[in-house]
Structure 1
Amino acid sequence: MLLRLVCTAALAAGTVLAPVPAAADPEPGGSPAASGGRSVAALLTDLQTLYREAEKATERYNATEEALAEQRAETARLDRALARTRLSLHDSRGAAGRLARQQYQSVTGLSPYLRLLLARDPQRALEQGHVIGQLARERAQTVGRLTGDAKEADELARKARKALDERIALTERRKKERDQVVERLHDVEELLASLTADQLAQLAELERTRVADAQRELVASGALSGAGAPSAAGERAVRYAVEQLGKPYEWGAEGPATYDCSGLTSEAWHSAGAPIPRTSQEQWARLERIALADLRPGDLVVYFPEATHVALYLGDGMVVQAPRPGARIKVSPIAANPVLGAVRPDPGGEPVEHYVPPELPEGATDGSDEGYGATYAPAAPEISAR
């Protein structure tokens, strides 16, 4: 089975599965070289580095996508406000024009005081003067409205132009970041396609050993309490995440058919009625941080110093996660990746009195916890993008 999968990955990348001649290690930041001459541990490190770079690029893309969505909304809001203001300005100009015509038609050349002295009925003249004063005030208000609308229209037009410029810049940045993700995933495909079946098997075994050792060390440290019930929202988030098990990872995706790591966690909590930031960095930066010993189901575990990966805590030292490009959503040990810390989306949520963990489907823990095995190699022919 493994050999068949390896052959598929190799053919998809346009290569023949065979040992590759020895080559020098790649320079930092450069393209991956062939695998010959490097130890399995070094190959696993290379894959870890490439996947981590891909995920960092993915989270940058996600952040820009969110900023672009907000900028689109802001641009639309400003356009609507500008349209309303221009309509009001048009009405104010019409009213000012009518007032100007009325004033021109009513000019008699006599001052109000002289008209009062010559009036046959001074009281009626005073009443007319009151009416005239009221009209004058209305005229002043109309002129003031006209001036204010003109200023507001100019200011809104300036903001709308600036918002459009920012939207164009964000669109260009998103394209560049999308290209970076595709490039990083191509590097992964290239390295995976260069490996033999034996190397892939050794990689899988080494990865399992490393994850198991890290998990034992974390549990032995006493950092995990293993106790605690979720809040009502946390329970809903857990059940949502479990329902997504087996669905493919796709960078930039947030369901319902595919997810990336933060797409899964953000959608799980959105479905629970408690929306959280979209990216793992924002989840780490804006949600309340908690100690690992205080973890309860539904909390989020964040990984790597740059907070570029995130998973949802299931309980008993396990998490639900979308591991890496090409992988599927699965249940993994919490220590499958280097833990940065944990955050709680609903710090004020009270634990439920009776919590029954959701039943996991068969095969929920199968596969690579880090997404490095041949079974989870990215598809070579095409990289999908949102």
Structure 2
Amino acid sequence: MSGKLLRLVCIAATAAGTVLVPAPATAVPEPETEQHNVADLLTDLQELYRKAEEATEAYNATEEKLKKQRAETDRLDRALARARLSLHDSRGAAGRLARQQYQSSTDISPYVRLLLARDPQHAIEQGHVIGRLAQERADTIGRLTGNERKAHELARKARTALDRRLALTERRKKERDEVRARLHDVEELLASLSRDQLTDLAEFEQNGITKAQKKFMASGALGSEHSSGTDESKGSTSSVRAPSAEGDRAVRYAVRQLGKPYEWGTEGPRTYDCSGLTSQAWAEAGTPIPRTSQEQWKRLERIPLDELRPGDLVVYFPKATHVALYLGDGMVVQAPRPGAKVKVSPIAANPVLGAVRPDPTGKPLRRYEPPELPEGATDGSDEGYEGYAAPAPETSTR
């Protein structure tokens, strides 16, 4: 067995959690066996990448919820401060009224005071004043009681909501880090492979992508996008469907990010993960969308693939764990995965789940000129093997 093949077989077995028994020295594997083992290794790696991305997208979703909860908690804190200030004022007013009542208290009945008064009319007016003071005291006590109840309820809501979100975030972070730890073991093995071995693995996957792309394009899934015609949704200088003005801005933003590294859980401006790129592209276009690929798939309007136009989002895998921004001509801009950079890739580089449109009411531009792609926009691996360096397991908190 060649050293190269033995190494690949060992890695495949390690990734699958199995124990290898060395084959007899005389055993000579058939070429199909080597290909089969590379395929097994690739399957294991892709599964780990998907699990890691799924966990990271779940963590990203929790981060977004936590941001919103923090804003809500800040609002509750401000309301609580106002309620406590009002409570302090109510207590001060109640104290003043109590002192006034004590200073003016007497054992003489108000009726007797009226009979003995030299000026009964003045006494009656005094009685009205006293009555108003009594009503004010009652109102103050009511406000005091209400403010105490409100302050207590606001404090309880703020504590409960924040504790719940913090607990959820910690749990999601633990899940993400567990998957990353599993992925780290395989990534260390990838980093230890020779350049030739990495090339074999990358070529094997790229051949699969090429076949999948050809099959996808031949299926007619994109409809008549590439045919010429008088459809006013087509740009006059391109066969690509014209996007809306917002879609055009989103595409141009994404193109400007080409070459920037992929990094878990980031949304620019120096590094991106898949949904970080798409969410920021549309935020820059003036149309904020959900942060994660799952929420983008869930909440944005779904469209048939044969209606794709630049700026639409293409979502991948059954659990919607990856997303890219459609560029046109069967190509997307994406942040693929660790070790890779933002690049232009075939739309079928991953199994397509469907597509969504962030601006369903946006009218297509009458004239559209696709952005000019920089040299090397499609260069580099869609798989993330080139120049790979295994990261250390993440231990810091965010």
- TM-score, normalised to structure 1's length? 0.86
Match of 1:357 among 354, 370, 374: 370
Q: Could you tell me whether the CA contact under 8 Å between 1:263 and 1:279 is conserved in 2?
A: yes
Q: Determine if contact 1:92/1:145 at 8 Å carries over to the other structure.
A: yes
Structure 1 contact 40–199 (Cα < 8 Å) conserved = no
Equivalent position of 1:47 in the other structure: 45
Aligned counterpart for 1:374 among listed residues 343, 361, 386: 386
Task: Encode CA deviations 1:277-305: one digit per residue, 9 max, x unaligned.
Answer: 11111111111111111111111111000
1:186 pairs, out of 184, 187, 191, with 184
Answer yes or no: is the 8 Å Cα contact 2:180–2:393 preserved in 1. Answer: no
AA in 2 matched with 1:352: L
- 2:362 and 2:316 map into 1 onto residues whose CA distance is 24
Match of 2:171 among 170, 173, 178: 173
Alignment CA distance shift 1:306-1:105 (3 Å): same
The range that moved more, 186-195 or 355-364, is: 186-195
Equivalent position amino acid for 2:335 in 1: A
Does structure 2 retain, via aligned residues, the 8 Å contact 1:53–1:184? Answer: no
Paired residue for 1:88, among 86, 97, 107? Answer: 86
Most deviating of 68-77 and 319-328: 68-77
**Distance in 2 separating the partners of 1:356 and 1:94:** 70
CA 1:86–1:135 in structure 2 vs 1: closer, same or farther (change >3 Å)?
A: same
Q: Which amino acid aligns with 1:293?
A: D
1:202 aligns with 2:171: no
2:333 partner letter: V
Give me the whole-angstrom Cα distance separating, in 1, the residues matched to 2:334 and 2:323.
7
Given the superposition, is the C-alpha separation of residues 97 and 185 from structure 1 closer, same or farther in structure 2, using an over 3 Å criterion?
A: same
Q: Cα distance 1:382–1:247, how it changes in 2: closer, same or farther (>3 A)?
A: farther
Name the residue aligned to 1:222: 220
Q: Is the 8 A contact 1:244 1:329 kept in 2?
A: yes
Cα distance in 2, alignment partners of residues 209 and 17 from structure 1: 20
Tell me the SS of whatever aligns to 2:7: coil
Whole-Å separation in 1 of the counterparts to 2:82 and 2:206: 62
Residue 87 of structure 1: how far off its partner (Å): 2.0
Q: For the structure 1 residues 249 and 51, does the alpha-carbon distance in structure 2 shift closer, same or farther, using more than 3 Å as the test?
A: same
Structure 2 CA distance, aligned partners of 1:267 and 1:297?
A: 16
Matched, 1:295 2:282: no
After TM superposition, the structure 1 = structure 2 runs for residues 276-291 of structure 1, keeping only pairs within 5 Å, are: 276-291=289-304
Q: 1:220 to 1:101 in 2, by over 3 A?
A: same
The Cα shift of 1:24 comes to: 9.0
1:301 is paired with a residue of what secondary structure?
strand
**Does the 8 A contact of 2:336 with 2:382 survive in 1?**
yes
Deviation at 1:162, TM superposition (A): 1.4
Any idea what SS the aligned residue of 2:153 has? helix
Query: What is the match of residue 254 of structure 1?
Result: 267
1:323 aligns with 2:336: yes
Give the match for residue 149 of structure 1.
147
**CA separation of 1:121 and 1:32: change in aligned 2, threshold 3 A:** farther
Of the three residues 231, 255, 258, the one matched with 1:242 is 255
> Given that residues 248 and 258 in structure 1 are in contact (C-alpha distance below 8 angstroms), is that contact kept between their aligned partners in structure 2?
yes
Using the alignment, how far apart are the partners of 1:222 and 1:112 within structure 2?
A: 97
How is 1:17-166 mapped onto 2 (pairs within 5 angstroms)? Answer: 19-20=6-7, 22-23=9-10, 26=13, 30=17, 39-166=37-164
Equivalent-residue separation in structure 2 for 1:332 and 1:51 (angstroms): 18
Report how far residue 257 of structure 1 moved. Answer: 0.3
The AA in structure 2 aligned to 1:20 is: R
| Pick aligned residue for 1:269 from 263, 282, 291 | 282
Moved more, 18-27 or 190-199: 18-27
Aligned equivalent of 1:343: 356
Shift of 1:30: 4.4
Cα distance, 1:369–1:20 mapped onto 2, change above 3 Å: closer
Q: Partner letter of residue 61 of structure 2?
A: A
**Unmatched tracts of structure 1, length 5 or more:** 1-15
- Aligned-residue RMSD, C-alpha: 2.8
Contact in 2 for aligned 1:331/1:364 (Cα 8 Å): yes
Which whole-Å CA distance do the structure 1 matches of 2:19 and 2:148 have between them? Answer: 60
Could you tell me how far 1:307 is from its partner in structure 2? 0.6
* Counterparts in 2 of 1:57 and 1:207: CA distance versus 1, 3 Å: same
Aligned partner (choices 309, 314, 317) of residue 327 of structure 2: 314
Does the CA contact (< 8 Å) of 2:15 and 2:44 recur in 1? Answer: no
Of 51-60 and 65-74, more deviation after overlay is shown by 65-74
Call closer, same or farther: CA 1:22–1:52 in 2, change over 3 Å.
closer
Deviation by residue 1:197-251 (Cα, 9 ceiling, x = unmatched): 4443232222222222222222222221324211111111111100000000000
Note if contact 1:24-1:33 (Cα within 8 Å) is conserved in structure 2. Answer: no
The match for 1:8 is none
Instruction: Give the superposition deviation at 1:113.
Output: 3.9
- Relative distance call for 1:184 and 1:274 in structure 2 (3 A) is farther
Aligned to 2:30: none
1:152/1:29 CA distance change after superposition, 3 Å: farther
Structure 1 counterpart of 2:177, one-letter code: D
Paired AA for residue 336 in structure 2? P
Deviation at 1:185, TM superposition (A): 3.4
